[in-house]
Structure 1
Amino acid sequence: MNHRTAFAAALLVLVSPLAAHAQDGHVNHAAAHSHAHAAFASDRIHVAVEGQGPDVIFIPGLSSSPAVWQGTVDHLNGAYRVHRIHVQGFAGAPAEGNAAGPVAAPVAEEIARYIREQGLQKPAVVGHSMGGTMGMMLAARHPDLVGKLMVVDMIPFMGAMFGPPGTTAQSVVPVADQVFTAQSTAPRDQYLTQARAAVTGMIRTEAARPGPLADVENSDQQVSASAFRELIVTDLRPELGKITAPVEVLYVKFNDPRMTDAITDAIYQMSFATLPGAKLKRVDDSAHFIMLDQPTAFYGDLDAFLAQ
Structure 2
Amino acid sequence: MKKYILIAALMFSVLCMNVTAQTKSYPFEVLKTGKGKQAILFIPGFASSADVWNETKANFEKDFTCYTLTMAGFAGVKPQPNVTFEHWKTEIANYVKNNKIEKPILIGHSMGGVLALAIAADYPELIGKIVVVDALPSLSALMNPSFQSKENNDCLPMVNQITAMTDSQFYDMQKMSIPRLVENASKKDLIIEWSVKSDRKTFAEMYCDFSNTDLREKITTIKCPTLILLEAYFVNLKPAIEAQYKNLKTANLQYANKGLHFIMYDDPTWYLEQLNNFIK
**TM more than 0.5:** yes
Q: Could you tell me which residue of structure 2 aligns to residue 52 of structure 1?
A: 35
The yes-or-no answer on 1:96 pairing with 2:88 is no
The yes-or-no answer on 1:299 pairing with 2:272 is yes
Q: Could you tell me which residue of structure 2 aligns to residue 169 of structure 1?
A: 149
Q: Could you tell me which residue of structure 2 aligns to residue 31 of structure 1?
A: none
2:133 corresponds to which of 152, 166, 172: 152
> Where in structure 1 do 4 or more consecutive aligned residues deviate above 4 Å?
171-174, 176-181
Specify whether residues 41 and 150 from structure 1 end up closer, same or farther in structure 2 by C-alpha distance, changes over 3 A only: same
**Identical amino acids, percent of aligned pairs:** 25
**Structure 1, 142-151 or 73-82: larger mean CA deviation:** 73-82
Q: Could you tell me which residue of structure 1 aligns to residue 110 of structure 2?
A: 129
CA distance in 2, matches of 1:172, 1:232: 13
Q: Could you tell me which residue of structure 2 aligns to residue 4 of structure 1?
A: none
Q: Could you tell me which residue of structure 2 aligns to residue 202 of structure 1?
A: 181
The yes-or-no answer on 1:275 pairing with 2:248 is yes
Give the match's secondary structure for 2:97: helix
CA distance in 1, matches of 2:140, 2:164: 21
Q: Could you tell me which residue of structure 1 aligns to residue 49 of structure 2?
A: 65
CA distance in 2, matches of 1:151, 1:274: 15
Letter in 2 for 1:92: G
Give, in angstroms, the shift of residue 170 of structure 1: 2.2
Give, in angstroms, the shift of residue 183 of structure 1: 3.0
**What does the per-residue CA deviation read over 1:64-103, in whole Å, with 9 as the maximum and x for residues that have no partner?**
0000000111122421100001101000101023xx541x
The yes-or-no answer on 1:262 pairing with 2:236 is yes
Matched-pair contact (CA < 8 Å) for 1:56–1:82: yes
Unaligned runs of 5+ in 1: 1-38, 255-259
Specify whether residues 284 and 172 from structure 1 end up closer, same or farther in structure 2 by C-alpha distance, changes over 3 A only: farther
Specify whether residues 304 and 90 from structure 1 end up closer, same or farther in structure 2 by C-alpha distance, changes over 3 A only: same
CA distance in 2, matches of 1:48, 1:91: 14
Q: Could you tell me which residue of structure 1 aligns to residue 194 of structure 2?
A: 215
Specify whether residues 57 and 279 from structure 1 end up closer, same or farther in structure 2 by C-alpha distance, changes over 3 A only: same
Q: Could you tell me which residue of structure 2 aligns to residue 118 of structure 1?
A: 99
The yes-or-no answer on 1:234 pairing with 2:247 is no
Unaligned runs of 5+ in 2: 1-21
CA distance in 2, matches of 1:40, 1:295: 37
Give, in angstroms, the shift of residue 185 of structure 1: 3.1
Letter in 1 for 2:271: F
Aligned length: 258
Give the match's secondary structure for 1:150: strand
* Higher RCO structure, 1 or 2 (CA under 8 Å, sep 6+): 1
2:164 corresponds to which of 185, 190, 205: 185
Letter in 2 for 1:190: Q
CA RMSD in angstroms, aligned pairs only: 2.0
Give, in angstroms, the shift of residue 267 of structure 1: 2.2
Give the match's secondary structure for 1:279: strand
CA distance in 2, matches of 1:63, 1:49: 20
Give, in angstroms, the shift of residue 60 of structure 1: 0.2
Q: Could you tell me which residue of structure 1 aligns to residue 10 of structure 2?
A: none
Give, in angstroms, the shift of residue 242 of structure 1: 0.8
Give the match's secondary structure for 1:209: helix
CA distance in 1, matches of 2:39, 2:249: 26
**Bigger Rg over Cα:** 2
Letter in 1 for 2:54: Q
Give the match's secondary structure for 1:96: coil
CA distance in 2, matches of 1:211, 1:168: 34
Give, in angstroms, the shift of residue 187 of structure 1: 2.9
